[in-house]
Amino acid sequence: MNDTMASVYSIENRVEIQLYPLDVFLRTQAGAAALRGQGPALPAEAIDLLRLLDGTRDVGELERKMAHLAPKRVRNVLRALLGARLARAATLAEQGGISVDFEAFFGRRG
């Protein structure tokens, strides 16, 4: 592993957050640049996971898609990508499928 890879993709860089099966993540602009080879060198498993982070797949689905890795390993790779700011949590709007009628929700009660 070269020094650039070690500094970005390391245990020290991994964020310690709880990841749940329905959490959804997507790659950041820096993550997209890394996929184009314009960033830090990443191991193959990190590149594979980064490619899957599109804001539509939850952690459970990512674990199924990357079945060649243990679920704990997938989550640790995801934590490293989050720590390196190559990935981030998707907002509800980015996840789609959630529709809120704010007028009805905040409207007057009659």
Place of tokens 């009805």: 104
Span 26-43, pLDDT tens digits: 999 999 999 999 987 899
Band of pLDDT at residue 7, cut at 50, 70 and 90: low
Q: What local confidence, expressed as pLDDT, does residue 93 receive?
A: 78
d(Cα 59, Cα 74) in Å, to the nearest integer? 9
pLDDT of 6 reads 44
Please report the pLDDT score of residue 62 as a whole number.
97
Characterize 15-40 residue by residue with b for buried, 16 or more Cβ atoms within 10 angstroms of its Cβ, and e for exposed.
eeeebeeebbbbbbebbeebeeeebb
Q: Where are the beta strands (DSSP E) in 1-110?
A: 24-27, 54-58, 87-89
Q: Between these two residues, 37 and 16, which has the higher pLDDT value?
A: 37
pLDDT tens digit sequence for 63-102: 999 999 999 999 999 999 999 999 999 988 787 766 666 6
Hey, where are the domains in the chain? 3-106
